[in-house]
């Protein structure tokens, strides 16, 4: 793999995939993934999971996806390289994939954390990793309480130089529906006087599981596309910024289809 920031765009190189990985990509992927997450979880549990370790774990998972034939295209990396202050990253939420590989892409250039649902920090092993990253935790029970937590804790993280990744949809979905895309990220950015970087995430190569939602089929026939947009400044009530984010995501997802 070339250094991801060698150019403004990153595209997975062509590679020869073994017969077994081509026919059983999910099996090979998850066997290795569990090993990676286990190691990360043990380090986090013992207080040894540093920013560098988080980046390394995320990079390992990106490489693992490529090793079973998943191709990635990441666009506009220069936007990240040119960041001068913490920002609010706002994107659609399509699969588990973005939670695992965005740390490599973003933490490599700016300290970052996620807004996550409470269940995620309760997971065996992986929960240790997420708690170690000092996320903003919402319970998805009372929207008013969640709104208060995101605004208060998000503003505090941004003031400390930590960017925030937020997925405003209520759940992961392959279809982007603007009606389900709330404005909490825009309100956080306005409240903290922080720029927004929109993200369009086409990550359905990592499917949604029928039994365990996070562990669905890995489908190398579907390319992963991640596109970062230019900074958006919230200078009014936020409606214009929200419209720009929705337009950016819809346009880039349509282009990636």
User: What is the pLDDT tens value at each position of the chain, 257 positions in all?
Assistant: 456 888 899 999 999 999 999 999 999 999 999 999 999 999 999 999 999 999 999 999 999 999 999 999 999 999 999 999 999 999 999 999 999 999 999 999 999 999 998 888 888 888 889 999 999 999 877 888 999 999 999 999 999 999 999 999 877 888 899 888 999 999 999 999 999 999 999 999 999 877 777 789 999 999 999 999 999 999 888 999 999 999 999 999 999 97
Q: Which of these, 188, 49, 162, lies nearest to 110 by C-alpha position?
A: 162
Rounded to whole angstroms, the Cα distance separating 22 from 148 reads 46
Give helix 239-256 / helix 184-192 axis angle, nearest 10°. Answer: 130
Q: What are residue 100's DSSP bridge partners?
A: none
The CATH number for 10-256, chosen from 3.30.70, 3.40.1130, 1.10.3470, 3.40.50, is 3.40.1130
- Which pLDDT score is estimated for 172? 83
- Which pLDDT score is estimated for 79? 96
Q: Which of these, 160, 98, 109, lies nearest to 134 by C-alpha position?
A: 160
| Full-model pTM | 0.94
Q: Residue for token digits 């965005």?
A: 102
- Which pLDDT score is estimated for 1? 45
DSSP assigned state of 255: H
Domains of the chain, residue spans: 10-256
């Amino acid at each position: 793999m070339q250094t991801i920031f060698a150019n403004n765009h990153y595209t997975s190189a062509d590679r020869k995939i073994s017969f077994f990985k081509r026919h059983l990509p999910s099996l090979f992927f998850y066997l290795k993934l569990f090993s990676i997450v286990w190691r990360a979880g043990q380090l986090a549990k013992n207080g040894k999971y540093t920013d560098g370790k988080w980046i390394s774990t995320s990079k390992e998972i990106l490489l693992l996806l490529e090793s079973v034939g998943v191709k990635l295209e990441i666009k506009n990396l220069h936007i990240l390289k040119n960041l001068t202050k913490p920002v609010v990253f706002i994107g659609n939420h399509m699969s588990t994939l973005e939670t695992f590989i965005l740390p490599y892409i973003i933490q490599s250039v700016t300290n970052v954390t996620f807004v996550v649902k409470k269940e995620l920090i309760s997971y065996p092993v992986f929960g240790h990793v997420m708690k170690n990253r000092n996320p903003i935790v919402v319970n998805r029970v009372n929207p008013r309480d969640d709104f208060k937590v995101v605004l208060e804790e998000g503003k505090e993280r941004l003031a400390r130089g930590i960017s925030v990744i937020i997925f405003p949809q209520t759940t992961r979905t392959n279809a982007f529906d603007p009606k389900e895309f709330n404005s909490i990220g825009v309100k956080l950015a306005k409240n903290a006087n922080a720029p927004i970087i929109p993200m369009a995430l086409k990550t359905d190569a990592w499917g949604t599981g029928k039994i365990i939602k996070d562990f669905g089929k890995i489908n190398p026939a579907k390319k992963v596309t991640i596109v970062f947009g230019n900074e958006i400044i919230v200078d009014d009530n936020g409606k214009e910024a929200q419209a720009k984010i929705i337009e950016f995501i819809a346009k880039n997802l349509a282009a990636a289809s």
